[in-house]
Amino acid sequence: MDLILASASPRRRELMGYFGLPFAIVPAAGPETPPAGADAAHTAEALALAKAREVAGTHPGAVVIGADTVVEVDGIILGKPKDEADARRMLRLLSGREHRVYTGLAVICGGRTESCAECTRVHFRPMTEAEIDDYIATGEPMDKAGAYGYQGRAGQYIRGIEGDFFNVVGLPLCRLGLMLAEIGVKLH
């Protein structure tokens, strides 16, 4: 049974490798259009489903995994920043506060589809304007939901989390492992 990750994310590729199973990367190419009026959990899940369905449509019989991560604070959904000004806005919003990271997961195998959204609470310490500027200058925030990567330089600004660390990185391994086992993928 072929296993496909419908994502171009290098972080997801690395995390998927932790299962020790052979898998292929086939990124979904369609637009990431969030459903109108959906909250963060439903947005992440819907985007993950769209990616998985797109790739499953061209790879029948494979186990296809879709994932999408969004950050939510005060009911505002933060995806990837459009530019440095947008990254600055996001980091200011997160500074000194708690927010939630949602990763939607979808697993499709044949006619079976499983999907969910995993949530982790993240606590940022206050960041100075100079810290925000220095962090943006690294370029690291530009391809990450909420404009930060916990596993990178932004780790120094995070006081702690409640939930799955890997969820914040982009692929909640515990939840995904349970979903794969449920559809019959042998993990060990």
> What residues are labeled active site?
68
- For residue 68, the surrounding DSSP H or E stretch is strand 63-73
CA distance 140 to 137: 8
CA distance 179 to 132: 37
Q: Label the pairing between strands 63-73 and 3-5.
A: parallel
CA distance 107 to 129: 41
